[in-house]
Amino acid sequence: METLETLFRSFETGIRSAKALKPKEYLKSIGLEYSDIRIGFNSGQFHHRKTLKTKDQFEKLGVLTKSDVAVRDDSMTAYTVFGRYGLIFPLVNQDKNIVNYYALRFDLDEQKQEYLNSEGIYPAYPHPLTKKLYLAPTIIDCASLIQSKVLDQREAVIALHDGELLEQHLEIIKSLYELEEIIIFKR
């Protein structure tokens, strides 16, 4: 059965592909390294050569949507793909399961950023004994802070949802019993 976790592993393989030159160049241009943090690349072809049952599973996950676009063969179905030709970042639940994706479609005339849904935290739920919590306005800001390796023990960072503090963020803050300081980055 397809899950967001198994699909993300294919995206991680995708970013390591020799053909993924543009995504690697873009990551380099913004100072991120895919070998340091979990980043994938969705070429938009993960559903190609898959069974109808698998495509139905992808639809239930929300990463595929049937489209009205004309196809060359009436026996084929066209699909719209979430985050097509984009960098994919995983958001997780408290059990560390991937429950959402953030896609950065960098190769469009105007960059497009989108979430699959409103669940999950990036990069992960902080340890309950966290003393200092950083709130980054975006996933890219959060990934940059993680990669900088400036966080000390008992410090953590989580990304807001497009700059918004959601209920799940508040629940995390309330659960951090040793929390002494919250630092909010503004754009």
Backbone angles phi, psi at 43, to 5 degrees: -75, -10
Give the pLDDT band of residue 129 (cuts 50, 70, 90): very high
CA separation for the pair 32, 55 (Å, rounded): 32
Please name the residue that has the structure tokens 């992960």. Answer: 124
The confidence score (pLDDT) of residue 107 equals 85
Mean pLDDT of 143-149: 94
The confidence score (pLDDT) of residue 71 equals 66
| Strand, coil or helix: 92 | strand
Helices (H), 3-96: 4-16, 21-29, 52-61
Give the pLDDT band of residue 142 (cuts 50, 70, 90): very high
Better pLDDT: 81 or 74: 81
Residue pair 103/151 in contact (Cβ under 8 Å)? The answer is no
The confidence score (pLDDT) of residue 79 equals 74
Share of the chain above pLDDT 70, in %: 96
pLDDT digits (tens, 9 = 90+) for 38-80: 999 999 888 877 787 888 898 899 999 887 776 676 666 777 8
CA separation for the pair 20, 38 (Å, rounded): 16
Give the pLDDT band of residue 1 (cuts 50, 70, 90): low
Residue pair 7/38 in contact (Cβ under 8 Å)? The answer is no
Strand ranges across the sheet with 40-42: 40-42, 86-92, 98-105, 112-115
What the chain holds in terms of domains, given with CATH numbers, is 4-115 (3.90.980.10), 132-184 (no CATH)
Mean pLDDT of 103-126: 92
CA separation for the pair 158, 135 (Å, rounded): 5
